[in-house]
Amino acid sequence: MIRIFIVDDHAIMRDGLKRILSEDHNMEVVGEAGDGDQALESLRQIQWDILLLDVSMPGMSGLEVLRAVQKDHPRGKVVILTQHSDHHLAKRYFKAGALGFITKVKAAEVLLKGIRKVAWGGRFFSSDIAEQLVGETLNGESDVMPHETLTDREYGIMCRLVAGIPLKLIAHELSISVSSVSTYRNRILAKIQVDNNAELVHYAIKNGMLNK
């Protein structure tokens, strides 16, 4: 039996995932959470094999949760499930220890297959991410992209800025001051080599970091 824990801030999405997982009698959802803090607390109290982890959530980012899980549960296997079809993001999560990366648009098609492969010791990309990675290799695009130099916190804030979330709301979600968010923003703009949020959004679109 593959024991699965789901972390996603949308209850409707969690319900949909549970319906898909119920199709395989060798899989069991043993818990769920709507944010990283709740997830980490619950994961300490139960036995689980696969963590299905969203990227964008209130509070802790997916990367922060992943790193905490890697530290506390080194044998646990993490599959990222996200709306972001960005192969650069996928590489970032794999470097942090994730073993699977599935976009939500492909979840209904490949979720069960992906979980089985990861549970059996393999790695799994959904086809849309795999195609981008192959294309990058064929085009010789192996240089480090500017956004790949961002820290985990900077990357999370960049994603929020690109999504149009105001600084005050970002500060509230991350439990930091508006001044700190502003400082992070300035660092992000410098590393990405853009002058303002509009150029940051343009960069994200150009590099396929936003859903089309």
Long-range contacts of 186-191 (CB under 8 A, 24+ apart): 187/154, 188/150, 188/154, 188/157, 188/158, 188/161, 191/146, 191/147, 191/149, 191/150, 191/154
Look over the chain and give the mean of its residue pLDDT values, rounded to a whole number: 85
State the amino acid at position 2 in one-letter form.
I
State the amino acid at position 114 in one-letter form.
G
Which helix (H) or strand (E) segment is 12 a member of? helix 11-21
- In sequence order, the β-bridge partners of residue 4 are 29, 50
Which tokens go with 8? 């996603």
In 3D, which of 38, 27, 114, 37 has the Cα closest to residue 78? 114
pLDDT band at 143 (very low <50, low <70, confident <90, very high): low
Whether pTM > 0.85 for this model: the answer is no
In tens, the pLDDT along 148-172 reads 778 778 888 998 999 899 999 999 9
Strands 27-33 and 50-53: unpaired
State the amino acid at position 54 in one-letter form.
D
| pLDDT number for residue 212 | 39
Quick count: other Cβ atoms within 10 Å of Cβ 20? 15
148-177 core/surface letters (b: 16 or more CB in 10 A; e: else): eebebbbbbbbbbbbeeeebeebbebbeee
Strands of 100-103's sheet in order across: 27-33, 2-7, 50-53, 77-82, 100-103, 124-125
DSSP letter at 5 equals: E
In tens, the pLDDT along 60-86 reads 888 889 989 988 888 889 999 888 777
Domains and their CATH numbers in the chain: 2-138 (3.40.50.2300), 146-206 (1.10.10.10)
| pLDDT number for residue 115 | 93
State the amino acid at position 5 in one-letter form.
F
Average pLDDT over residues 13-31: 94
Lowest mean pLDDT of 16-30, 43-57, 103-117, 118-132, name the range. Answer: 118-132
Quick count: other Cβ atoms within 10 Å of Cβ 198? 9
Give the residue, 141 or 43, on which the prediction is more confident.
43
State the amino acid at position 33 in one-letter form.
A
